[in-house]
Amino acid sequence: MERLLFLDIIKAFGILVVIFVHMQNFLAAIVIPNFFLIEGLKFLGLACFMFASGYAIHENNRTLEGRGEIFHFYRKRILRIYPLYLVALFVFFICFQVFGLFPPVHYDIAGWIANILCLQVILSPAFLEPIFTLWFIGFIIIMYAIYPLFSDNRGTIKKRILVAAGIFIALLIIHAALNIIDYRFFMYYFIFIIGVVASAGSRRFRFIERPFRDHKKFAIPVINALAYASYCIYLFHMPVFSVTNIFITGAGLSGAYQNAALIFLVIPALFFMCYYIQRSYDRLIKRPE
């Protein structure tokens, strides 16, 4: 799929909102103390990712016919996200369970196995509370699992929307009856489906691109890079914030200096690091077998 600028803008905006929300925990003073505004921004940032994921998945996989194509789709998507997720999960284990950095987690072996298998969203809240931020991977794995029901060869858009509604109702009944399937799944489910439907209808949202068209030498390359690295940034930003916070506070920085170190040193370094991690990983998986 060719890079779609409006989709990259949505991804870049989404990751910037997520970073802005989560850095509040590591600033000398919280910039936005209003809980509801923070939750609204958190929803907005993740909604951007959900929509972009649904759109991109359909744009790359409009038709899936037969077991071979469906198997290839699953293999391609798992290879794209799962190995980096496992690395992130290991980093989370070391940082937040072994060393107890902020915010600490306390899982038993079964809890970590559930996260390794991406079952955290399905088993919540009855059996475990998903790890902050990484619960998103459990959500997206579920959506990948059911996506073949929404490809173009499954009928009209209207029919696929009805199928999506039927799945939503069935899972909601299971949630009410068994107290499983995390509530956030239901918050973002249809945003992913809207992304699929928008792609199926060839919606391009050119109005999102207009403010950036006159800044092709700087703004667009930065947007493309942020969008490209956004998955990796999402996976690793919390461990990076937590570890660097130890050095920032240990150096005696406080107040405006602490904030400046996070915003002007840590966050740019995070973006560069994740861009090159993503690029190196893509080169690795694209090597001929």
Q: What is the pTM of this model?
A: 0.94
Closest CA to 11 of 54, 45, 58, 57: 45
Closest CA to 81 of 283, 288, 281, 237: 281
Cβ within 8 Å of residue 47, ≥6 positions away: 14, 188, 191
Quote the number of domains for the chain: 1
Q: Angle CA(115)–CA(120)–CA(124) in degrees, nearest 5?
A: 150
Rounded distance, CA 12 to CA 14, Å? 5
Rounded distance, CA 180 to CA 130, Å? 12
Cβ within 8 Å of residue 117, ≥6 positions away: none
The predicted pLDDT at position 288 comes to: 44
Sign of CA dihedral 79, 90, 49, 269: negative
DSSP string covering the chain, please? -PPPHHHHHHHHHHHHHHHHHHHGGGSSS-S---HHHHHHHHHHHHHHHHHHHHHHHHHH-S---HHHHHHHHHHHHHHHHHHHHHHHHHHHIIIIIIS-PSSP----HHHHHHHHTT-HHHHTTTT-PPPTTTHHHHHHHHHHHHGGGGSGGG--HHHHHHHHHHHHHHHHHHHHHHS-S-HHHHHHHHHHHHHHHHHHTT---GGGTGGGTT-TTTHHHHHHHHHHHHHHHHHHHHHHHHHHHHHHHHTT--HHHHHHHIIIIIHHHHHHHHHHHHHHHHHHHTS--
The predicted pLDDT at position 289 comes to: 39
Closest CA to 235 of 44, 92, 55, 41: 92
Burial class (CB in 10 A: 0-12, 13-18, 19+), 81: middle
Closest CA to 193 of 228, 217, 157: 157
The predicted pLDDT at position 254 comes to: 82
Tens digits of pLDDT across the chain (289 residues): 678 999 999 999 999 999 999 999 999 877 777 888 999 999 999 999 999 999 999 999 999 988 999 999 999 999 999 999 999 999 999 999 999 999 999 999 999 999 999 999 999 999 999 999 999 999 999 999 999 999 999 999 999 999 999 999 999 999 999 999 999 999 999 999 999 999 999 999 999 999 988 787 889 999 999 999 999 999 999 999 999 999 999 999 888 899 999 999 999 999 999 999 999 999 998 854 3
Rounded distance, CA 110 to CA 116, Å? 10
51 and 10 in contact (C-beta within 8 Å)? yes
The predicted pLDDT at position 1 comes to: 62
Rounded distance, CA 164 to CA 188, Å? 13
The predicted pLDDT at position 143 comes to: 97
The predicted pLDDT at position 261 comes to: 95
Domain that holds residue 281: 5-285
Helices 5-23, 35-60: crossing angle, 10 deg rounding? 150
